[in-house]
Amino acid sequence: MEGLTKLRVRWAIMAVTAGASALSLTGAASASVTPEHGTLARMPSRYSRHAMGLIRTAPAPVSGAESANVHAEATSLPASVDLTSFAMPVGNQGSVGSCAAWAADYSALGYWENKQGIQGGALAPMYTYSQVTGGYDVGSTIEGNLSIDEHGVDNQSDYWQGNYDYADMPLAGEKTHAVNWKLSGYSDLPVQMSSSSTVTQQSIETALAAGLPVVIGIPVYDNFFYVGSANQGYYPGISGSFDGNHAVTALGYSSQGLVIENQWGTGWGDAGWATLSWSFVNTYVFDAVSVSSLHTGQPVSTAAPQLGYGAREGVKLTAPTGTWSPAATSYAYQWQRASAGNWTNISGATSATYTPGTADLGLYLRVLVTAGNAGGQGAVTSTQTGPVGSGAPAASVLPAVSGTLSIGQNLTSTTGVWNPGGTSWQYQWQRSTDAGGTWTNIAGATGSVYKTTAADASAYLRMRFTDNNAYGTTTAYSAQVGPISGVPVNTSEPTVVGAPARGTTLMANVGGWSGAPSSYTYQWQKYANGSSSWSDISGATASTYTPVKTDENAVLRVQVTGTNAYGHVTVTSVGTSAVKASPPVNTAAPKVLGIAALGHTLSISLGSWSGAGNSYTYQWQRNTGTGWSAIAGATAPHYNPSSADFFATLRVVVTAANLDGTGTGTSPATLKVP
């Protein structure tokens, strides 16, 4: 009952001060005060389509001097004026008695937005109406709304209360935002309500000719509700019963009358417009206010700041300034939070950065940026971000395991990518022996690298990575890898040790292996000139191999097979250089051993020879002073000097032979046989 009592008191006061006309504030509308102020059925009316709501103010008396001045200024006026090219689209005040706010905020200031090229879109009538009425739907004066407009009016895109909520007052952030659209001034025009006077007409014409929209107050009678599109919505005069007072915006004139924009939607009049006859204007208009331009020069937002997405507890947000024209020279910030669209300032959050805390969890955040320069201030709210998530670490990319999936091999895990990140973390490798059904921690495997063991054979592995920070602990798992192969793995290939030549033994080095092979087997292969592929050497299955004559000029290699309980793996060495021949070559000369004298036996030291499979023959020679000659029959590895050798020197020629050729070596000469 408290809200109902307050409303009845207000209506009683208006009835006393404004006469019986004030009792019909909304005329054809039927609306209710919002539940916050109690529920009150609106006054019934014969017409339920349109609301009004203008509180009538008596015009000030016009002196003779004022009248003369009005007529003087009108002597050079153009025959017609049309400001409608800058008009806002026709709006609709609905069932709320907010006609004065719509005519002033939406229509008149909207005209200036368009004419001055000021961005922001349609302005919010409820911004001023709720403040003028204290949150009740009791109507308002034209001047009451315009006086608030001088401090600024918010635009509809920012004003969350919408076009019909008069109970919820503007929030602090909306008031700050409203400074972008601040009225520079308004003037009450001389009004003389008389069919024999043109003061009202001419004062309105003079303002319109100067490019100023004029908000007028008129009484509404029954026939006004039925103005249609015929003759451009021409309204000649009153008919029927009085229904209330109404505010509209004049945006042009001609000899026919005054062109007005109404806010009853496009279904009324000529798509929302009408032309009031001059007879009606001069007789019935009781208030006329010219509306000056919006303040310019202050920064105006041309692109709102973009906060982005993914706000989290503990992760600092930085306010972008957005784009402003004219340019700003300073910026101020106010961070805001909201639940269910109700934005409130965050106490103390007035810097360019803000770090969400526990109080912000699940809520949305935005920042109100106020830009300033020498021309004044402008403000805009950023896009919202949220809902604010937990600041505990969150993995945007999971850990990943890489490496060879065999026992004895190193597997490496990444940490993944975390935002928010942690300040400490733990690795834990896990094993599953049932294809990922259940997992157990591997004891001691708490680093980023893990070397698989025999226990991992045929199992699956994964990394459990735990990240910690002040806001919580989060665990993420890599994708499983496996099964881990238990067969041996060659880690460095076999090699052939030795020089590839006929008769020289080559040895197989098995290389490096993991997986604990229990045995190795070998197969030597060759690639001969004219062949198209490698071929096994028959019987060459030992760890060593000695090339034979048929291997000469061929390339050799060895295959090593490592075997354990899980299987076997065969790997191959690189090929050798071509197998060389091994002809005999004397590398240290033979020597004659013994005393070169009758009765003594001389023997031979072969000296040193290269070559494989050498056999040796001998030829003793003497030199009696005429040169060396073979001693007949002296082809044994020993020789007994005879009388024919007196005073001669002796030597031996050794001939070596093998599959690849022959070679000779000659000993030094002995002393003369005495």
User: How far apart, in whole angstroms, are the C-alpha atoms of residue 469 and residue 590?
Assistant: 87
Question: Model confidence over 76-100: pLDDT tens digits?
Answer: 999 999 999 999 999 999 999 999 9
pLDDT at 258: 98
Answer whether 306's CB lies under 8 Å from 320's CB. Answer: yes
pLDDT at 388: 92
Tokens 């101020």 belong to which residue? 332
End residue of a domain, out of 477, 512, 541: 477
pLDDT at 310: 82
pLDDT at 419: 83
Question: Model confidence over 296-345: pLDDT tens digits?
Answer: 888 888 888 999 888 889 889 999 999 998 899 999 999 999 987 788 99
- Do 160 and 281 fall within a single domain? yes
Answer whether 258's CB lies under 8 Å from 153's CB. Answer: no
End residue of a domain, out of 425, 457, 477: 477
Question: Model confidence over 109-149: pLDDT tens digits?
Answer: 999 999 998 888 999 999 999 999 999 999 999 999 999 99
% of the chain at pLDDT higher than 90 = 79
User: How far apart, in whole angstroms, are the C-alpha atoms of residue 7 and residue 152?
Assistant: 27
User: How far apart, in whole angstroms, are the C-alpha atoms of residue 214 and residue 395?
Assistant: 61
Picking from 609, 613, 633, the residue whose alpha carbon sits closest to that of residue 621 is: 633
pLDDT at 11: 34
| Domain assignment of residue 483, yes or no | no
- Do 201 and 241 fall within a single domain? yes
- Do 471 and 493 fall within a single domain? no
User: How far apart, in whole angstroms, are the C-alpha atoms of residue 545 and residue 504?
Assistant: 8
- Do 565 and 589 fall within a single domain? no
- Do 658 and 629 fall within a single domain? yes
pLDDT at 375: 84
Mean per-residue pLDDT, 287-300: 91
End residue of a domain, out of 519, 549, 572: 572
Look up the domain containing 518 and give its range.
489-572
pTM recorded for the entire structure: 0.52
User: How far apart, in whole angstroms, are the C-alpha atoms of residue 387 and residue 356?
Assistant: 11
Question: Model confidence over 391-443: pLDDT tens digits?
Answer: 899 899 999 999 999 888 999 999 999 988 899 999 999 999 999 999 999 99
| Domain assignment of residue 6, yes or no | no
- Do 354 and 453 fall within a single domain? no
- Do 315 and 340 fall within a single domain? yes
As beta bridge partners, residue 336 has 345, 366
User: How far apart, in whole angstroms, are the C-alpha atoms of residue 369 and residue 209?
Assistant: 38
pLDDT at 16: 30
pLDDT at 656: 96
| Domain assignment of residue 127, yes or no | yes
Q: At what angle do helices 125-133 and 142-149 cross, to 10 degrees?
A: 110
| Domain assignment of residue 264, yes or no | yes
User: How far apart, in whole angstroms, are the C-alpha atoms of residue 202 and residue 214?
Assistant: 12
- Do 372 and 521 fall within a single domain? no
Q: At what angle do helices 199-209 and 64-73 cross, to 10 degrees?
A: 40
- Do 174 and 236 fall within a single domain? yes
| Domain assignment of residue 171, yes or no | yes
DSSP code for 289: E
Mean per-residue pLDDT, 598-616: 95
Which H or E element spans position 12? helix 2-18
How many helices (H) does the chain have, and how many strands (E)?
A: 9, 43
Question: Model confidence over 100-119: pLDDT tens digits?
Answer: 999 999 999 999 999 998 88
User: Beta strand 234-235 with 273-277: parallel, antiparallel or unpaired?
Assistant: parallel
Q: Tell me the average pLDDT of the chain.
A: 90
pLDDT at 125: 98
pLDDT at 300: 81
- Do 305 and 446 fall within a single domain? no
- Do 539 and 415 fall within a single domain? no
Question: Model confidence over 505-553: pLDDT tens digits?
Answer: 999 999 999 888 899 999 999 998 877 899 999 999 999 999 999 999 9
| Domain assignment of residue 309, yes or no | yes
pLDDT at 528: 87
- Do 463 and 565 fall within a single domain? no
Domain total in the chain: 5
DSSP code for 107: I
pLDDT at 226: 94
| Domain assignment of residue 31, yes or no | no
pLDDT at 530: 76
| Domain assignment of residue 376, yes or no | yes
Task: Provide DSSP, 487-527.
Answer: S-EEEE--EEES--BTTPPEEEE--EEES--SEEEEEEEEE
Mean per-residue pLDDT, 240-269: 97
pLDDT bracket for residue 49 (50, 70, 90): low
CATH code: domain of residue 232: 3.90.70.10
Answer whether 181's CB lies under 8 Å from 301's CB. Answer: no
Question: Is pLDDT above 80 for 7?
Answer: no
